[in-house]
């Protein structure tokens, strides 16, 4: 059993992204991330949190603070309470959840025993951690980061940085081979005004090599932080056309929870 989880928040809402969009979900947001995405709307997750917020009633937005770390048992109790007798999708997100693999595995295992489906949202770099938690995950939502907008914490703040293609390809390969037969893996790529055709094409070629039937979700960026604008409709459709040259299941799904104004 893990000694505890570093949590940022637990709350009930609707899944706003990816292939599970629209499903009622309990979100479990973990602290700490080793990437710096230009559009990140939860910069408070970059570092481990001293305390976390737990929603008191499903969908109320009323939060109560509690200190970290939070035991897996206590987290399970809070999640089950928010489900109010109707087990639903549990989205484990961050930050980067796979920086806490023991806690994620213990949490996901317990929740699946209580009837929940588990979605893991990950930046797609922690290969061995993915293999460890895979048996307890129902849906892997893997980001494919593009160096035009994403840096590692250790990278300089300015100038070009190394791309993520090799690391993502290794992660996707391990994820596909590690998950249960009834689990699904999809890839999400955030498209901004800085996204280049060459990096998007390379990502699609790598995905096609490893998992040609896995869905690719193109997510037009929601302006946040230094990112002030979203790609035009014409640009989004051009990206869709480019990706369909290589992959058969490509979808455009914006952040719908932002549109309806929920967490």
**For residue 194, with 0-12 CB atoms within 10 Å meaning exposed, 13-18 middle and 19 or more buried, which class applies?**
middle
Is residue 2, in this structure, part of any structural domain at all? no
Is residue 17, in this structure, part of any structural domain at all? yes
Is residue 1, in this structure, part of any structural domain at all? no
pLDDT at residue 184 greater than cutoff 50: yes
Name the domain count of the chain.
Answer: 1
Over residues 194-215, the pLDDT tens digits come to: 999 999 999 999 999 999 999 9
pLDDT at residue 243 greater than cutoff 50: yes
Q: In this prediction, what percent of the chain has a pLDDT beyond 70?
A: 99
> Residue 193 sits in a domain of what CATH number?
3.20.20.70
Give me the pLDDT at residue 120, please. 98
CA atoms of 261 and 224, how far apart (whole Å): 15
| Contact present, 76 and 107 (Cβ < 8 Å) | yes
Over residues 133-173, the pLDDT tens digits come to: 999 999 999 999 999 999 999 999 889 999 999 999 999 99
Give me the pLDDT at residue 98, please. 98
CA atoms of 160 and 49, how far apart (whole Å): 30
CA atoms of 186 and 171, how far apart (whole Å): 12
Give me the pLDDT at residue 19, please. 97
Per the structure, the complete domain to which residue 120 belongs is given by 7-260
| Residue 190: HSE in the Cβ half-sphere, 13 Å Cα cutoff | 26
Q: For 154, left (φ over 0), alpha (ψ -120 to 50), or beta?
A: alpha
What pTM, to 2 d.p., does this model score? 0.96
Give me the pLDDT at residue 2, please. 56
CA atoms of 57 and 194, how far apart (whole Å): 40
Average pLDDT (46-63) is: 96
């Amino acid at each position: 059993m893990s000694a505890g989880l570093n949590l940022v928040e637990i709350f009930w809402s609707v899944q706003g992204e990816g292939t599970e969009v629209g499903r009622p979900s309990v979100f479990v947001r973990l602290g700490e991330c080793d990437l710096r995405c230009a559009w990140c709307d939860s910069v408070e997750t970059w570092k481990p949190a001293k305390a976390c917020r737990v929603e008191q009633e499903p969908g109320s937005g009323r939060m109560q603070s509690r200190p970290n770390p939070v035991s897996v048992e206590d987290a399970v109790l809070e999640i089950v309470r928010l489900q109010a007798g109707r087990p639903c999708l549990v989205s484990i997100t961050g930050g980067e959840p796979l920086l806490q693999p023991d806690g994620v595995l213990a949490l996901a295992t317990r929740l699946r025993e209580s009837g929940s489906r588990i979605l893991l949202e990950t930046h797609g770099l922690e290969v061995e951690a993915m293999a460890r938690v895979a048996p307890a995950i129902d849906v892997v939502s893997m980001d494919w980061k593009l160096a035009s907008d994403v840096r590692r914490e250790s990278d300089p703040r300015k100038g070009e940085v190394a791309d993520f293609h090799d690391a993502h390809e290794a992660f996707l390969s391990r994820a596909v081979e590690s998950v249960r037969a009834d689990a699904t893996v999809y890839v999400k790529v955030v498209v901004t005004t800085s996204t280049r055709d060459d990096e998007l094409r390379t990502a699609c070629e790598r995905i096609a090599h490893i998992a040609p039937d896995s869905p690719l979700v193109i997510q037009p960026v929601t302006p946040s932080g230094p990112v002030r604008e979203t790609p035009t409709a014409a640009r989004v459709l051009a990206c869709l056309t480019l990706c369909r040259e290589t992959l058969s299941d490509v979808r455009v799904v914006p952040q719908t929870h932002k549109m309806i104004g929920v967490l």
